Structure 1
Amino acid sequence: MATYGRGGRWTMTDRGQPALRQTPTTFQVGPSSLRWEGGKLIVEIDELAWPHMHRLKGRVTVTPSAVTDVELPLKADGSHVWRPFAPSSEIEVDLNQPGWHWTGHGYFDANFGIHALEDDFSYWTWGRFPTHDNGAYCFYDATVRDGSELAVGLHFGADGTVEVIDAPPRTRFRRSLWQVRRETRADPGYVPHQVHDMLDAPFYCRSTVRTKVFGEEMVGVHEALDLNRFASPWLKPMLAVKVPRRRGWRFAE
């Protein structure tokens, strides 16, 4: 769970198999969970933001305009898959801090894989840009360690329909504060630019970015991931500060 802006918090805790419960409509890890209920995705959060030891608790409700059946293989062998469940959604946020109660526009997706990302990829960039008609463009570009390249552009309609598009060119723009290379798709002659910094790490950057695609200017969420940096031996020990392990957690009977 990540919140941004003044007082923002980030929490991610590793837990063992005894902390997992799953049904066709629910997924629970420790005290936090996701469940589908009446066409809405209900996310219940109850975590400690480490190392601040601040409790992050509350609910996020995601109401998709439609749920897609798209599964995009990120490698030819299908070992990594991107699943854009709901590229356009309405969200309601109700968390335990002043100002963390609001409604707005959002999306819901997930990645699945059977290998460590740094073993199969050296770099990737992704962006989702909502359109004026409540649809969205998504761009996924990656450099695979076998020498191949992933370059995918999709347009999602508000009704969940999807179309593969010939995306405009990859266009570089200003690097992150940690000098992570950034690029996204943009019409020729247009240079994308960051609107708001969300998360800046030595190997990863997430931000809102303005670009122009097929003549329409849009602001969307963008991420860039340098997996060569992530794989370096000096970096991974630093992650233990942000991703603590909670061994022996059990559900109350």
Structure 2
Amino acid sequence: MTERGRAALDRDAGSLSIGPSSLHWDGDSLVATIDEVSAPIPSRVRGTVRLTPQALVADSLALDPGGRHRWRPIAPRARVEVTMERPGVSWSGTGYLDSNAGTEALEDGFADWDWSRAHLSRDTVVLYDGVRRDGSSFALALRIAPDGTVEHVDAPPRFRLPTSGWRMARGTRVDAGETATVARTWEDSPFYVRSALRTRLFGEACDAVHESLSLDRFRSPVVRLMLPFRMPRRG
């Protein structure tokens, strides 16, 4: 939520702190303690998010042939409890946790990608499509069982979604002959859009969380100048 310098970082095997906010495992759950100031209108954001995995995936997957970028769907299904002091809101529901890691900046490795996660009645489906900086593409379709077993499955056909308010292209995959619709757009920016979809995958009607990322747009000097207005920077 805030970009900070190296001096604000502290980590060990079970915790990560960046400025006044932190993550730590308490044995069963990942607990995020948030203490930030929002932008562009400053206001305090303070509270906790507790994520308790209902399935865990041990392995990560390479997103490029050289293995410079790796992705791991750590907890494809989890229980999430949010308790905020500022603003004074709370809720709970089903969530997801993943991680990207790499040896170069994302914009150096990729031009764009679409990603989505849907909870079926039993399994979790994750769809990941992208174009690398060298022009090659990748497509992952994973079906993850409650015990964390990952099955690579044939990806359903591509489906074009409506562009966002910032004219960001959005695409997903849906069962042949079916359609997907945007139920809600949570975040819309010049290079990133996050949405809720109503879709149909592997014979089941389901809701999905979807994101589209344009790293070509992210590299634009104009977009770089806009970033501090959406995400504060601290030394």
Per the TM superposition, whether the score is higher than 0.5 is: yes
Distance in 2, matches of 1:151 and 1:217, equals 22
Structure 2 gap ranges (5+): none
How big is the shift at 1:147?
2.1
Cα pair distance change 1:21/1:48, threshold 3 Å: same
Tell me, yes or no, if structure 1 residue 113 matches structure 2 residue 97: no
Answer with 56-65 or 45-54: which moved more.
Answer: 45-54
Q: Which runs of 4+ in 1 moved over 3 A?
A: none
Distance in 1, matches of 2:88 and 2:195, equals 20
Deviation track 1:160-196 (CA, whole Å, cap 9, x = no partner) reads 1111111111111211111111111111121211111
- Provide the residue aligned with 1:225 in structure 2: 213
Aligned length: 235
How big is the shift at 1:111?
1.1
Tell me, yes or no, if structure 1 residue 79 matches structure 2 residue 63: no
After TM superposition, the score normalised by the length of structure 2 is: 0.96
Tell me, yes or no, if structure 1 residue 95 matches structure 2 residue 84: yes
- Provide the residue aligned with 1:209 in structure 2: 197
- Provide the residue aligned with 1:157 in structure 2: 145
Structure 1 gap ranges (5+): 1-11, 248-253
Residue type at the aligned position of 2:227: L
- Provide the residue aligned with 2:20 in structure 1: 31
Distance in 2, matches of 1:45 and 1:179, equals 32
Residue type at the aligned position of 1:193: T
Q: Give the root-mean-square deviation of aligned CA atoms.
A: 1.3
Distance in 2, matches of 1:223 and 1:112, equals 18
After TM superposition, the score normalised by the length of structure 1 is: 0.89
Alpha-carbon contact 2:184-2:195 (below 8 Å) kept: yes
Answer with 236-245 or 200-209: which moved more.
Answer: 236-245
- Provide the residue aligned with 2:30 in structure 1: 41
Tell me, yes or no, if structure 1 residue 56 matches structure 2 residue 6: no
Alpha-carbon contact 1:173-1:191 (below 8 Å) kept: no
Alpha-carbon contact 1:14-1:243 (below 8 Å) kept: yes
Aligned sequence identity (%): 44
Alpha-carbon contact 1:131-1:218 (below 8 Å) kept: yes
Distance in 2, matches of 1:58 and 1:209, equals 28
Alpha-carbon contact 2:107-2:215 (below 8 Å) kept: yes
- Provide the residue aligned with 2:2 in structure 1: 13
Alpha-carbon contact 2:110-2:133 (below 8 Å) kept: yes
